[in-house]
Structure 1
Amino acid sequence: MTMEILPMTARPGARRLQTLRCLGGVPSETGDDVADEVPVALQYNGLSHAVMLATPLDLEDFAYGFSLSEGLVDRAEDLRDVEVEEVERGIVLHVEIASRCLARLKERRRTLAGRTGCGLCGLQSLEQALPRCEQRVAPVMLGASALSRALDGMRSRQLLQSVTGATHAAAWCGTDGEVLLLREDVGRHNALDKLIGALARQQADATQGFFAVTSRASYEMVQKTVRAGVGALAAISAPTALAVNTAQAAGLCLIGFARGLDWVAYSATERLTLERLAA
């Protein structure tokens, strides 16, 4: 059976495909919604920088968030303009940034020119791959009830996940656990970048809350959270040792295995109010 794309799309960011489904041993032809994933190229002042596989939603947020979380710009005002261009094989984000930021970007590209087939070579390249995090985040106090409320609130707002089952979400939550803003993407890094970009574009004070993500807490996720100035990150899966070390150095409250009333805190545990919750 040849699978084809049906003209109807259930939700932006998803495509409806014709499928053959077997339930209880009985096969039948039906339609299924799958998450869209396309190459998204980021160009800065006409200079190609990166190509990411991403869900083609909230792309302006993505451009802002990626630029900020990767340290390509210092603040949202350094981005002058973002244009989204659909091309034959994907999407190009044309980003205009301040000239001083472009000079930094060119220097980064020059130092990464030593990439080889076996990975990064040279001390300078390793420093680029794992830059030392000198920033410290503003402390934020959280209660266990806030974590539980945030996780519950995220589930009902993951609209793309509800129809495809294939996307991650990143949410900015108030200290009481209310989900204030959420972004989705097939990539966990992309979802967090989109959230950071949306906060920057809305000029929200990201320090007055915490991030919650439906993924593991890798070094990159911690680094992006720290660069956004957010004081706590809660993930439904595990952190890595490097992520924990980075969080400790930055004063970030890092929480893993956050599911319902259960969680594990790995750093800045003094920021958590340990009230006992009824099951």
Structure 2
Amino acid sequence: MATAQNASYLIGPAPDDPRLTRIVTGTDQSGAAVSLNVVEERPLTIYLNAREIVTAMTIGDHPTYLALGFLLNQGMLKRSDQVTGVDYDAEIETVVVRTRVQTDHEDKLARKTRTSGCAVGTVFGDMMAGLDGVTLPDTSVRTSDLYNLSHTINRTPSLYLAAGAIHGTVLCKADQPLIYMEDVGRHNAVDKVAGWMFSEQQDAGDKVLYTTGRLTSEMVIKTALMGIPTLVSRSGFTAWGVEIAQQVGLTLIGRMKGQRFVCLSGEHRLIRDADPAAQPPEPQKAGRKAAT
């Protein structure tokens, strides 16, 4: 079994990065003074060629991956598009993604709607249409790998454990977590994963996506559009998220804690090779770091 200590992340959480948190002071329920380490939140403006697309609130790490993944998952950038440049200006907190051929993003902007996502959860009118013709590979997933992933990920030092108020998304292969992205919005975290996969030309068919957030319609849509056949979460489901997963044949697993999980779509991919009773129970959460 992999452990948090020997898990070899290509990109892992950075709970000790001083740019991502800061200390704030207040009082507790008894009036005593307290100091807490809290997550930073910064605006990041994303351009596609000469057009401003959106300003997202983010913790500020991996801005180019976030910009690429956002544009890909909104259908404004296609995986076949030739990207000629991705430029980040830290001073004005802006990323400009340039393509060789102009895109049709103006039309997509006209159909922008608000979703249930945290932070800037915007989705464009044709994301559902983008699912037409999506075929996910029937890559099997072993329950022993899922238990090992859950064990490893939940014990990895992270911003969530250090400060809370944040979501994590982990790209995995078999029982190995590859990259672990965190952000104030779960959609930002998954967009960073999508941007990394695009930049590194990663195949999606043999991957599992693990998230700490709810399994909503947009999370399911983004996972399917990325070509990942299995989506796993510690959290619960929305009815529309389940319905879309069933429509596209995505394996959807939620409430994965300790010995338990629930699969509401794509049962056919599961290889049940682990005895749930033999798995360790969910550990008590470690207390969040107090500022010193």
Specify the TM-score bucket, using the shorter chain as the normaliser: 0.7 to 0.9
CA RMSD between the two structures = 2.6
Give, in whole Å, the separation in 2 of the partners of 1:221 and 1:184.
15
1:15 corresponds in structure 2 to 21
The one-letter amino acid of 2:52's match is: S
Residues paired across the two proteins, number: 254
Identity score, percent: 25
Greater shift in the superposed pair: 225-234 or 152-161:
152-161
After superposition, the Cα gap between the structure-2 partners of 1:193 and 1:126, relative to the gap in structure 1 and judged at 3 Å, is closer
RCO comparison, higher one (Cα < 8 Å, 6+): 2
Alpha-carbon separation, structure 2, partners of 1:64 and 1:132: 17
1:13 deviates by 4.5
Q: Give 1:99's aligned amino acid.
A: V
| Contact 1:61 1:196 survives alignment (8 Å) | yes
In the other structure, the counterpart of 1:27 is 32
Distance 2:56 2:86 in 1: 16
Change (3 A) 1:126 1:185: closer
Task: Report how far residue 127 of structure 1 moved.
Answer: 4.7
Instruction: Write out per-residue CA displacement over residues 221-246 of structure 1, whole angstroms, 9 at most, x where no aligned residue.
Output: 11111111101000111121211121
Local SS of the residue matching 2:32: strand
Contact 2:22–2:40, Cα closer than 8 Å, also in 1: no
C-alpha deviation, 1:57, in angstroms:
0.4
Aligned 8 A contact 1:40 1:92 in 2: yes
SS at match of 1:34: strand
**Superposition deviation, residue 79 in structure 1:** 2.4
Q: Does 1:215 align with 2:213?
A: yes
For 1:60 and 1:12, the matched residues in 2 are separated by 20
Structure 1 alignment gaps of length 5 or more: 1-8, 117-124
Q: 2:99 aligns to what?
A: 97
Cα distance in 1, alignment partners of residues 16 and 170 from structure 2: 23
| Alignment pair present for 1:80 and 2:84 | yes
Q: Does 1:269 align with 2:267?
A: yes
Task: Tell me the equivalent position of 1:42.
Answer: 46
Comparing 221-230 and 66-75, the one that deviates more? 66-75
Contact 2:181 2:192 in 1 (8 A): yes
Deviations along 1:50-94, one digit per CA (max 9) or x if unpaired, are: 121111001111112112111112217532211122356xx2211
**For the Cα contact (< 8 Å) 1:139–1:252, is it kept in 2?**
no
TM-score normalised by L of structure 2: 0.79
Q: Which has the higher helix share?
A: 1
Contact 1:183 1:192 in 2 (8 A): yes
Task: Find out whether 1:163 has 2:162 as its counterpart.
Answer: yes
Q: TM-score, normalised by structure 1?
A: 0.82
Kept in 2: contact 1:158–1:184 (CA 8 A): no
- 1:121 alignment partner in structure 2: none
- Say whether the 8 Å CA contact 1:73–1:79 is kept in structure 2: no
Compare 138-147 and 78-87 and name the one that shifted more: 78-87
